[in-house]
Amino acid sequence: MKYKSSSDKELLEYLKAAEQEAFTEIYNRYWKRLLAIAYNFSKDKSIAQDIVQEIFTQLWVRRAELNIDSLNNYLATAVRFSVFKLIYRQKRRQEIESRNCKKELSTISEDQIEARFTQEYINKIVEHLPENCRLVFNYSRNSGLSISEISMLLGISKKTVEGHLTKGLKVIRLSLRDGFNFFF
């Protein structure tokens, strides 16, 4: 009974302590909402059910290491990310098959697909960084320029370059943690 009246934060603490009743309460609170989100994006009931089941499985398996501020947002983001990942994989496979590259299809590993997906995901995050931060990050990571070179190129101090780079890496790390970390 204490779990039904518990807040999400309290339930997360109980979950970290491996209390199955807390997990059951989280499941009962959120499964319908998550299933609706998954179905809305996937348009397939079976896929939606599988995604929601996998998210709850990972929540239980990784309960001790998760650092969640908002359970509702975390679970909804996990569902959207899972559907996005599934759609991306399906689309990518169809593109490869449509080129009649059967030989290439058999040599592409899941790791290579994950690496491409991760790089595209990071690129999307970088696109949303503030302009100077994005420039510094691209010069550093994509062009291989040093902090001194970037400083001279942009006409800003080395400390400012370091600050922009630190900020960009922090945003990327947080985005990856919130999205990918749930699944890897």
How far CA 162 is from CA of 79, 149, 168, in Å, comes to 35, 12, 10
How far CA 56 is from CA of 27, 32, 153, in Å, comes to 7, 12, 49
Spell out the domains of the chain, with CATH numbers in brackets: 1-108 (1.10.1740.10), 110-184 (1.10.10.10)
Cα gap 136→181, rounded to integer Å: 25
| Residue 177: band (very low, low, confident or very high) from pLDDT cuts 50, 70, 90 | confident
| Residue 180: band (very low, low, confident or very high) from pLDDT cuts 50, 70, 90 | low
What pLDDT is stored for residue 158 in this prediction? 92
Q: Is residue 178 predicted with pLDDT exceeding 80?
A: no
- Altogether, the residues listed in the chain come to a count of 184
The tokens 């302009």 sit on which residue? 131
Cα gap 29→139, rounded to integer Å: 46
pLDDT digits over 45-87, tens only? 888 898 899 888 888 888 888 788 888 888 888 888 888 888 8
- Name the percent of the chain lying above pLDDT 70: 90
| 3-class DSSP assignment, residue 138 | helix
Q: In the structure encoding, which two tokens stand for residue 101, read together?
A: 């590259």
Crossing angle (nearest 10°) for helices 110-127 and 71-98: 120
**pLDDT (average), residues 20-41:** 88
| 3-class DSSP assignment, residue 3 | coil
DSSP type of residue 135: H
The tokens 């400012």 sit on which residue? 160
